[in-house]
Amino acid sequence: MTKYVINSKEMKTHFSTLKSLLFAVAISSSVVSTAAVAESPAIPANFVDVTSLAPTIQVHMAYFTNNNFVGTVVDGYQANTCFLHIDAAQALAKAQQAAMQQGYSLWVYDCYRPQRAVDHFMRWAADTADTATKAEFYPNLAKDTLVGEYIAEKSGHSRGSTVDLSLAKQDSSGQWQVVDTGSPFDLFDPISNVGSSGITAEQQANRQRLLDIMSATGFNVYSMEWWHFTHQPPAYTDTYFDFVVQ
Protein backbone atom coordinates (compact mmCIF):
# COMPACT_ATOMS: atom_id res chain seq x y z
CA MET A 1 0.00 0.00 0.00
CA THR A 2 1.34 3.41 -0.96
CA LYS A 3 1.40 5.99 1.79
CA TYR A 4 0.82 9.66 1.02
CA VAL A 5 2.57 12.03 3.36
CA ILE A 6 1.95 15.76 3.36
CA ASN A 7 4.38 17.77 5.38
CA SER A 8 3.35 20.71 7.53
CA LYS A 9 4.45 23.26 4.95
CA GLU A 10 2.25 21.65 2.27
CA MET A 11 -0.69 21.49 4.68
CA LYS A 12 -0.38 25.21 5.37
CA THR A 13 -0.27 25.93 1.66
CA HIS A 14 -3.37 23.84 0.95
CA PHE A 15 -5.22 25.39 3.88
CA SER A 16 -4.29 28.90 2.75
CA THR A 17 -5.50 28.17 -0.78
CA LEU A 18 -8.80 26.72 0.46
CA LYS A 19 -9.32 29.67 2.79
CA SER A 20 -8.76 32.11 -0.09
CA LEU A 21 -11.25 30.27 -2.30
CA LEU A 22 -13.93 30.27 0.40
CA PHE A 23 -13.37 33.96 1.05
CA ALA A 24 -13.71 34.74 -2.67
CA VAL A 25 -16.98 32.82 -2.85
CA ALA A 26 -18.32 34.67 0.20
CA ILE A 27 -17.40 38.05 -1.24
CA SER A 28 -18.92 37.14 -4.60
CA SER A 29 -22.19 36.08 -2.94
CA SER A 30 -22.26 39.26 -0.89
CA VAL A 31 -21.85 41.44 -3.97
CA VAL A 32 -24.65 39.62 -5.83
CA SER A 33 -26.97 39.97 -2.84
CA THR A 34 -26.23 43.67 -2.41
CA ALA A 35 -26.85 44.34 -6.10
CA ALA A 36 -30.15 42.46 -6.07
CA VAL A 37 -31.80 43.81 -2.93
CA ALA A 38 -31.40 47.31 -1.48
CA GLU A 39 -32.08 46.69 2.19
CA SER A 40 -31.87 50.28 3.46
CA PRO A 41 -34.69 50.97 5.94
CA ALA A 42 -34.96 54.56 4.72
CA ILE A 43 -37.36 55.56 1.95
CA PRO A 44 -35.21 56.55 -1.05
CA ALA A 45 -35.33 60.24 -1.96
CA ASN A 46 -36.67 59.45 -5.44
CA PHE A 47 -39.71 57.55 -4.09
CA VAL A 48 -42.84 59.53 -3.20
CA ASP A 49 -46.31 59.00 -1.77
CA VAL A 50 -48.51 59.34 -4.86
CA THR A 51 -51.23 61.19 -2.94
CA SER A 52 -48.76 64.05 -2.51
CA LEU A 53 -49.07 64.55 -6.28
CA ALA A 54 -52.67 63.39 -6.78
CA PRO A 55 -54.70 63.67 -3.54
CA THR A 56 -57.90 62.35 -5.14
CA ILE A 57 -56.49 58.90 -5.96
CA GLN A 58 -58.30 56.23 -3.98
CA VAL A 59 -55.65 54.19 -2.13
CA HIS A 60 -56.75 50.83 -0.71
CA MET A 61 -53.59 48.76 -0.24
CA ALA A 62 -54.78 45.16 -0.28
CA TYR A 63 -51.76 43.73 1.50
CA PHE A 64 -52.24 46.05 4.47
CA THR A 65 -55.44 44.11 5.17
CA ASN A 66 -56.49 40.49 5.66
CA ASN A 67 -58.50 40.59 2.43
CA ASN A 68 -55.87 39.21 0.07
CA PHE A 69 -54.74 35.83 -1.24
CA VAL A 70 -52.36 35.29 1.69
CA GLY A 71 -55.22 35.86 4.13
CA THR A 72 -53.32 38.16 6.47
CA VAL A 73 -51.46 41.47 6.54
CA VAL A 74 -48.33 40.92 4.46
CA ASP A 75 -44.81 41.49 5.78
CA GLY A 76 -43.57 45.03 5.11
CA TYR A 77 -46.96 46.76 4.97
CA GLN A 78 -47.39 49.05 7.98
CA ALA A 79 -49.64 51.71 6.43
CA ASN A 80 -52.14 52.32 3.65
CA THR A 81 -49.59 54.25 1.58
CA CYS A 82 -48.81 54.07 -2.13
CA PHE A 83 -45.13 54.72 -2.80
CA LEU A 84 -43.74 54.83 -6.33
CA HIS A 85 -40.59 56.06 -8.00
CA ILE A 86 -41.08 59.74 -8.87
CA ASP A 87 -41.30 59.07 -12.63
CA ALA A 88 -44.09 56.52 -12.21
CA ALA A 89 -45.82 58.66 -9.58
CA GLN A 90 -45.91 61.69 -11.85
CA ALA A 91 -47.29 59.58 -14.69
CA LEU A 92 -49.93 58.11 -12.37
CA ALA A 93 -50.97 61.62 -11.34
CA LYS A 94 -51.57 62.38 -15.03
CA ALA A 95 -53.57 59.18 -15.35
CA GLN A 96 -55.70 60.23 -12.38
CA GLN A 97 -56.35 63.60 -14.00
CA ALA A 98 -57.48 61.86 -17.19
CA ALA A 99 -59.71 59.49 -15.21
CA MET A 100 -61.32 62.35 -13.29
CA GLN A 101 -62.05 64.17 -16.53
CA GLN A 102 -64.07 61.12 -17.60
CA GLY A 103 -65.93 60.94 -14.27
CA TYR A 104 -63.79 58.21 -12.72
CA SER A 105 -60.98 57.85 -10.20
CA LEU A 106 -58.09 55.44 -10.03
CA TRP A 107 -58.50 52.87 -7.26
CA VAL A 108 -55.10 51.56 -6.18
CA TYR A 109 -54.57 48.09 -4.67
CA ASP A 110 -50.77 47.96 -4.57
CA CYS A 111 -47.78 50.09 -5.52
CA TYR A 112 -44.21 49.69 -4.30
CA ARG A 113 -43.90 46.28 -2.63
CA PRO A 114 -41.03 45.45 -0.24
CA GLN A 115 -38.90 42.41 -1.06
CA ARG A 116 -39.86 40.98 2.34
CA ALA A 117 -43.49 40.96 1.16
CA VAL A 118 -42.49 38.99 -1.94
CA ASP A 119 -40.65 36.55 0.32
CA HIS A 120 -43.87 36.21 2.35
CA PHE A 121 -45.75 35.36 -0.85
CA MET A 122 -43.19 32.66 -1.68
CA ARG A 123 -43.47 31.08 1.77
CA TRP A 124 -47.25 31.08 1.41
CA ALA A 125 -47.04 29.47 -2.04
CA ALA A 126 -44.71 26.76 -0.72
CA ASP A 127 -47.23 25.77 1.96
CA THR A 128 -49.53 23.76 -0.30
CA ALA A 129 -51.54 22.54 2.70
CA ASP A 130 -52.83 26.09 3.30
CA THR A 131 -55.71 26.55 0.86
CA ALA A 132 -57.90 28.81 3.02
CA THR A 133 -58.18 31.47 0.29
CA LYS A 134 -58.51 29.13 -2.70
CA ALA A 135 -62.26 29.61 -3.26
CA GLU A 136 -61.88 33.38 -3.47
CA PHE A 137 -58.53 33.88 -5.17
CA TYR A 138 -57.60 30.78 -7.23
CA PRO A 139 -60.70 28.57 -7.48
CA ASN A 140 -59.73 26.89 -10.76
CA LEU A 141 -55.98 26.51 -10.31
CA ALA A 142 -53.84 24.31 -8.10
CA LYS A 143 -51.81 26.29 -5.59
CA ASP A 144 -48.56 24.75 -6.79
CA THR A 145 -49.09 26.26 -10.25
CA LEU A 146 -49.27 29.89 -9.07
CA VAL A 147 -45.51 30.49 -8.88
CA GLY A 148 -44.29 31.74 -12.23
CA GLU A 149 -47.15 33.49 -13.96
CA TYR A 150 -48.74 35.02 -10.84
CA ILE A 151 -46.15 34.88 -8.04
CA ALA A 152 -42.39 35.24 -8.45
CA GLU A 153 -39.26 35.44 -6.28
CA LYS A 154 -38.65 38.97 -7.56
CA SER A 155 -41.40 41.46 -8.41
CA GLY A 156 -41.41 44.58 -10.55
CA HIS A 157 -43.35 46.20 -7.72
CA SER A 158 -40.18 46.16 -5.61
CA ARG A 159 -38.45 48.34 -8.21
CA GLY A 160 -40.99 51.13 -7.72
CA SER A 161 -42.50 51.48 -11.20
CA THR A 162 -45.39 48.99 -11.06
CA VAL A 163 -48.91 49.57 -9.77
CA ASP A 164 -52.03 47.41 -9.40
CA LEU A 165 -55.26 49.32 -9.82
CA SER A 166 -58.78 49.63 -11.19
CA LEU A 167 -61.28 52.39 -11.85
CA ALA A 168 -63.96 53.66 -9.48
CA LYS A 169 -67.08 55.74 -9.96
CA GLN A 170 -69.11 57.67 -7.40
CA ASP A 171 -72.49 56.28 -6.34
CA SER A 172 -75.58 58.35 -5.49
CA SER A 173 -74.19 59.10 -2.02
CA GLY A 174 -70.88 60.33 -3.40
CA GLN A 175 -68.89 57.26 -2.32
CA TRP A 176 -66.36 55.81 -4.71
CA GLN A 177 -67.14 52.25 -5.82
CA VAL A 178 -64.96 50.00 -7.98
CA VAL A 179 -66.39 49.40 -11.45
CA ASP A 180 -67.22 45.91 -12.68
CA THR A 181 -64.27 44.51 -14.62
CA GLY A 182 -65.39 40.89 -14.76
CA SER A 183 -62.96 39.62 -12.14
CA PRO A 184 -61.71 41.11 -8.87
CA PHE A 185 -58.14 42.13 -8.11
CA ASP A 186 -55.77 39.19 -7.57
CA LEU A 187 -58.15 36.58 -8.91
CA PHE A 188 -55.58 34.14 -10.31
CA ASP A 189 -57.56 32.77 -13.21
CA PRO A 190 -57.69 32.99 -17.02
CA ILE A 191 -60.70 35.29 -16.73
CA SER A 192 -58.31 37.94 -15.38
CA ASN A 193 -56.25 37.87 -18.58
CA VAL A 194 -56.33 41.01 -20.67
CA GLY A 195 -58.76 40.36 -23.52
CA SER A 196 -60.51 37.45 -21.80
CA SER A 197 -63.59 36.35 -23.73
CA GLY A 198 -65.41 35.25 -20.60
CA ILE A 199 -66.70 38.69 -19.60
CA THR A 200 -69.53 40.96 -20.70
CA ALA A 201 -69.25 43.86 -23.11
CA GLU A 202 -69.64 46.34 -20.24
CA GLN A 203 -66.95 44.64 -18.19
CA GLN A 204 -64.62 44.63 -21.19
CA ALA A 205 -65.36 48.32 -21.78
CA ASN A 206 -64.34 49.11 -18.19
CA ARG A 207 -61.08 47.22 -18.64
CA GLN A 208 -60.44 48.98 -21.92
CA ARG A 209 -61.08 52.40 -20.38
CA LEU A 210 -58.49 51.68 -17.70
CA LEU A 211 -56.05 50.35 -20.27
CA ASP A 212 -56.47 53.44 -22.47
CA ILE A 213 -55.90 55.83 -19.56
CA MET A 214 -52.81 54.01 -18.34
CA SER A 215 -51.32 53.44 -21.80
CA ALA A 216 -51.66 57.13 -22.64
CA THR A 217 -49.49 58.02 -19.65
CA GLY A 218 -46.69 55.54 -20.31
CA PHE A 219 -47.78 52.33 -18.57
CA ASN A 220 -47.74 48.84 -20.08
CA VAL A 221 -50.18 46.18 -18.89
CA TYR A 222 -49.24 42.61 -17.93
CA SER A 223 -51.24 40.29 -20.17
CA MET A 224 -52.14 37.84 -17.37
CA GLU A 225 -53.59 40.52 -15.06
CA TRP A 226 -55.77 43.38 -16.30
CA TRP A 227 -54.92 45.42 -13.14
CA HIS A 228 -51.09 45.22 -13.36
CA PHE A 229 -49.25 48.14 -15.03
CA THR A 230 -45.58 49.10 -15.21
CA HIS A 231 -44.34 52.57 -16.16
CA GLN A 232 -41.92 52.60 -19.09
CA PRO A 233 -39.02 52.61 -18.94
CA PRO A 234 -38.76 51.29 -15.37
CA ALA A 235 -36.43 53.37 -13.21
CA TYR A 236 -34.64 50.23 -12.00
CA THR A 237 -34.17 46.95 -13.82
CA ASP A 238 -32.21 44.82 -11.34
CA THR A 239 -32.55 46.57 -7.97
CA TYR A 240 -35.28 45.45 -5.58
CA PHE A 241 -36.00 47.61 -2.54
CA ASP A 242 -37.01 46.41 0.90
CA PHE A 243 -37.98 49.49 2.93
CA VAL A 244 -41.34 49.09 4.66
CA VAL A 245 -44.55 50.78 3.54
CA GLN A 246 -45.28 53.24 6.33
Task: Provide the annotated active-site residues.
Answer: 225
Three-class HEC string of 22-69: HHHHHHHHHHHHHHHEECCCCCCCCEEEHHHCCCCCEECCHHHCCCCC
Alpha helices (H) along the chain: 8-36, 86-101, 115-126, 134-137, 201-216
Cα–Cα distance between 150 and 11 in angstroms, integer? Answer: 52
Contacts of residue 13, defined as CB under 8 A and 6 or more positions apart, other chains included, come to: none
Residue 138: how many CB atoms within 10 A of its CB? 19
| CA distances to 167, 198, 217, 226 from 184, in Å | 12, 14, 23, 10
